[in-house]
Amino acid sequence: MGLKDNLKAVKAEINTEEQFIENFIKGERFIKKYKLYIFALIAILIIWFAISFISGKIEQYNIEESNKIYTSLLNNPNDQALLEQLKNKNANLYAIFLMKELAKDINNTEIKSQLQSLSSNSDANHLLKNIISLPLGEKSIFLKNYDKILQAYRLLGEGKIEQANILLSQIKDDSALSQIAKNLKHYQGISR
């Protein structure tokens, strides 16, 4: 019995080795047949990872550089060279800086004209363009509910409650500003 068991074990081991060699040969044939495609795929993946890594590093550098310029501008807001650098590096931060400066002096026509040109023909973020349009007195697509609340608040301050209620009722219940609109309608501009 021991000899039969040994023979069976040897046969099983040989069959396993044969299957391994057979699979190895099939794999080798597959690689030879599609060698060019496999190397092309590997090369494309390596190039893609390299480009992704390099572009990520460049983007990170630009962000850090823009933040340094913005911080320097906050410390020295009258530096026109830094302002021009920020305008060229990052239009979004440039717009935010101009809006901050406009908040300090609401009647500054130079800043308003710069914001106007920035909102009309630049690569600034679309949402930021809509935010820019509010202080310039233009209608904002994304912030229309916010604009309605501001208009209603002004009307309530003037005592025009009916007109304010009409504006506030135009704000839908699923809006993030619906609770503010309900509060304004309820209190109708009453301040204590």
DSSP string, 119-175: HHSS---HHHHHHHHTTTT---STTHHHHHHHHHHHHHHTT-HHHHHHHHHTS-TTS
Token duo for residue 62: 């630009």
pLDDT given for residue 189 in this prediction: 56
Q: CB–CB of 164/145 below 8 Å?
A: no
d(CA 192, CA 187): 11
pLDDT given for residue 190 in this prediction: 56
pTM over 0.85: no
Which residues of the chain register pLDDT less than 70?
Answer: 1-3, 7, 122-124, 126, 134-143, 189-192
Q: CB–CB of 102/89 below 8 Å?
A: no
How does DSSP assign the chain, residue by residue?
-HHHHHHHHHHHHHHHHHHHHHHHHHHHHHHHHTHHHHHHHHHHHHHHHHHHHHHHHHHHHHHHHHHHHHHHHHH-TT-HHHHHHHHHH-HHHHHHHHHHHHHH-TT-HHHHHHHHHHHHSS---HHHHHHHHTTTT---STTHHHHHHHHHHHHHHTT-HHHHHHHHHTS-TTSTTHHHHHHHHHHTT---
pLDDT given for residue 109 in this prediction: 78
Token duo for residue 180: 């503010």
**Neighbouring residues of 162: CB distance < 8 A, sequence distance ≥ 6:** none
pLDDT given for residue 192 in this prediction: 38
pLDDT given for residue 171 in this prediction: 83
- pLDDT per position as a tens digit, 82-103: 888 888 888 888 888 888 887 7
